[in-house]
Amino acid sequence: MTDTNDLTSAALRAGFAAALGEGGRQSRWLAAFADVPREHFVPSFFQQDEQGRWYEVSESDPGYLEAVYSDTALTTQLDEHGVPTSSSSEPRLMLTMLDALDAEPGHRLFELGLGTGYNAALASALLGSDNVVSVDVDPELVRRARKHLERGRYRPHVFAGDGAEGCPDRAPYDRVIATAALRRIPPALLEQARTGAVVVAPIGFGIAKAVVSEGGEASGRFLPVPAFFMPRRVPGKAPDFAGLETQLGRTTSVPVTDVLDRLRFPLSLALPGYRSCSWRDDEGELTGVGLWTEDGSTATVHVSGRVRQTGPRHLWEVVEELAAVFPDGEPAREDFGFTVNAAEQRAWYGEVGGPSWAM
Ligand SMILES: C[S@@+](CC[C@H](N)C(=O)[O-])C[C@H]1O[C@@H](n2cnc3c(N)ncnc32)[C@H](O)[C@@H]1O
């Protein structure tokens, strides 16, 4: 980068950190956002054109720095099907998650999901590089993140591996953060956390914040913010839409749109890892929704209310049960909590003992 670009970057970064702190937000992490150049970690990213085709934007392209210093998630890796597999998350959401850690300088942090290394560098700015350990399942991303980190002055410990196993060599941790969507908090991360440690992790379509107690137990609540992180991918069966075409099916009184909006978050707790798609007609009007889980269970629901289901689990029954628990409106994420003990992890609504779902 030229000196002029460095100046532009410094000015944009200062404005970016100030915008993150708008509304009088008090956060010790704002200094880290003002300090760490995000462009070191995102030398290029992918954007979609109007037809949904991906194209790469890099340092020499117009608008690159402005995009880097905007409050947007930047896709940094695509698989062979054009599906995003890594990104630098939305900065405001990163700040919310870092704030939720209640971290102090000197705390030791484990991060699941190194990605570009940006969050690990931010964490190093407050906690000290030697106190930050970050792991990514993709060795190529770890290689790139190491190169990115060399452009700045922070040197957290970064490794390739399954973050669900933690990093026992550097345990115990005072704080744990995950930046890939999890279905539950991995037991190894709880075992490697100190009593009183705070864990912040995307679970379903929300962010869970837990405090660890003795013996690997933990409990907490969800933050009020929505979050749609990339899931940790697991091999699974494809949806069996073809097998449903010949079924007569049955009718439901639950509107198909409920799974797209007001019941979306509770469904992500009740059916961990579920996937969905929707169909529209030529005018763009919704005609139906498909749901499936990795065991091959598949449901389609037409806007007329016709439900067809196949596979080991009847997925629409789960939606109907949720609609009975939440007959009106969208339940607030912060009214959901969860408890982890030796036997299970369970999400609940309202209070322990309220309606609940195994995670
Ligand atoms: C949203 S990105 C992380 C963003 C990153 N913290 C940053 O600052 O750029 C999610 C990352 O989680 C990684 N990931 C997914 N499953 C994982 C696992 N089981 N263990 C460690 N990393 C994982 C993905 O490879 C991806 O790079």
Q: Is 89 a catalytic residue?
A: yes
Q: How many angstroms is it from 5 CA to the middle of ligand 1?
A: 29
Residue 47, beta-bridge partner list: 55
The answer, yes or no, to whether residue 3 has pLDDT greater than 80, is no
The answer, yes or no, to whether residue 2 has pLDDT greater than 60, is no
CB of 125 within 6 A of ligand 1: the answer is no
Residue pair 207/96 in contact by the 8 Å Cβ criterion: yes
**CB-side neighbour CA atoms (13 Å) of 272:** 16
The answer, yes or no, to whether residue 1 has pLDDT greater than 60, is no
CB of 163 within 6 A of ligand 1: the answer is yes
d(CA 20, CA 33): 9
| Residue the block writes with tokens 């900065």 | 91
Q: Could you tell me what percent of the chain has a pLDDT over 90?
A: 86
Two tokens, residue 14:
């200062």
- Give the pLDDT of residue 218: 96
Annotation: CATH topology of 241-325? Double Stranded RNA Binding Domain (3.30.160)
Q: How many CB atoms lie within 10 A of CB 250?
A: 11
- Give the pLDDT of residue 44: 97
d(CA 205, CA 334): 12
The answer, yes or no, to whether residue 286 has pLDDT greater than 90, is yes
Beta pairing class for 193-203 and 173-178: parallel
For the sheet with 356-358, list strands across it: 157-160, 132-136, 109-112, 173-178, 193-203, 206-212, 218-222, 336-340, 345-349, 356-358
Could you tell me which residues come within 8 angstroms of residue 55 by beta carbon, excluding any fewer than 6 positions away?
46, 47, 48, 49
Nearest to 160 by CA among 173, 179, 141, 175: 141
Residue pair 334/223 in contact by the 8 Å Cβ criterion: yes
- Give the pLDDT of residue 237: 87
| Choice from 141, 179, 183, 200 to test ligand 1 binding pocket (greatest atom count within 8 A of CB) | 179
- Give the pLDDT of residue 231: 66
Report the Cα 169 to chain-centroid distance in Å: 26
Quick: pLDDT tens for 65-81.
999 999 999 999 998 88
3-state secondary structure of 338: strand
d(CA 34, CA 16): 8
Q: How many angstroms is it from 280 CA to the middle of ligand 1?
A: 32
For the sheet with 275-280, list strands across it: 250-251, 306-310, 298-302, 286-292, 275-280
Residue pair 315/292 in contact by the 8 Å Cβ criterion: yes
Catalytic residue among 9, 88, 89, 124: 89
d(CA 104, CA 117): 20
- Give the pLDDT of residue 4: 61
DSSP element (H, E) containing 132? strand 132-136
Q: Could you tell me what percent of the chain has a pLDDT over 70?
A: 97
Quick: pLDDT tens for 166-197.
999 999 999 999 999 998 999 999 999 999 99
Quick: pLDDT tens for 194-212.
999 999 999 999 999 999 9
The answer, yes or no, to whether residue 232 has pLDDT greater than 80, is no
- Average predicted confidence (pLDDT) for the chain: 94
3-state secondary structure of 111: strand
The more confidently predicted of residues 39 and 2 is 39
Q: How many angstroms is it from 179 CA to the middle of ligand 1?
A: 6
Residue pair 99/29 in contact by the 8 Å Cβ criterion: yes
Q: Going by CATH, does the domain composed of 3-222 fall within 3.40.50.150?
A: yes
Q: How many CB atoms lie within 10 A of CB 59?
A: 13
Q: Report the pLDDT averaged over residues 103-116.
A: 97
Stretch among 26-35, 221-230, 326-335 having the lowest mean pLDDT: 221-230
CB of 116 within 6 A of ligand 1: the answer is yes
Sorted by where each begins, the domain ranges of the chain are 3-222, 241-325
The more confidently predicted of residues 214 and 320 is 320
Two tokens, residue 213:
């107690």
Stretch among 24-38, 219-233, 280-294 having the lowest mean pLDDT: 219-233
Nearest to 183 by CA among 236, 117, 251: 236
What DSSP designation does 227 have? -
Could you tell me which residues come within 8 angstroms of residue 17 by beta carbon, excluding any fewer than 6 positions away?
30, 31, 33, 34
